[in-house]
Amino acid sequence: GDSVTQMEGPVTLSEEAFLTINCTYTATGYPSLFWYVQYPGEGLQLLLKATKADDKGSNKGFEATYRKETTSFHLEKGSVQVSDSAVYFCALSDLGNTPLVFGKGTRLSVIA
């Protein structure tokens, strides 16, 4: 079945550091790929998405490129802020009404 593997956390960075959170996937078809963010005590918010190979999703300074050849969708940000501290989930969706398949989540802590 489909699966998502993302780097284990927690990740602790200083403010303005560069962020990479790795995500790889396995899927039988051509999935859409997503990054969701969960702030403490809240639900999930869609951060960015990409629906086909070589698409780049971007939002709030975060970027991720759909790499079909390496089955990856790594999340990057050039300069993190304390307010970026949250849990980040990589996810995929393969077919119309099937639920999202989530990675285990990566907790990011940014310190001033």
Q: Where on the chain is the footprint of another protein (CB under 8 A)?
A: 32, 34, 36, 41-46, 49, 51, 89, 93, 96-97, 99-100, 102-105, 107
CB of 42 to another protein, least distance (A): 6
How many Å apart are CA 63 and CA 35, to the nearest integer? 10
Pick the closer one to another protein by CB: 16 or 53: 53
How many Å apart are CA 89 and CA 75, to the nearest integer? 10
Sorted by sequence, the CB contacts under 8 Å of residue 84 that are 6+ apart come out as: 19, 77, 108, 110
Q: Provide the token pair at 28.
A: 């039988």
Pick the closer one to another protein by CB: 17 or 100: 100
Pick the closer one to another protein by CB: 9 or 13: 9
CB of 76 to another protein, least distance (A): 21
CB of 52 to another protein, least distance (A): 11
Is residue 95 packed enough to be buried (19+ CB in 10 Å), middle (13-18) or exposed (0-12)? Answer: exposed
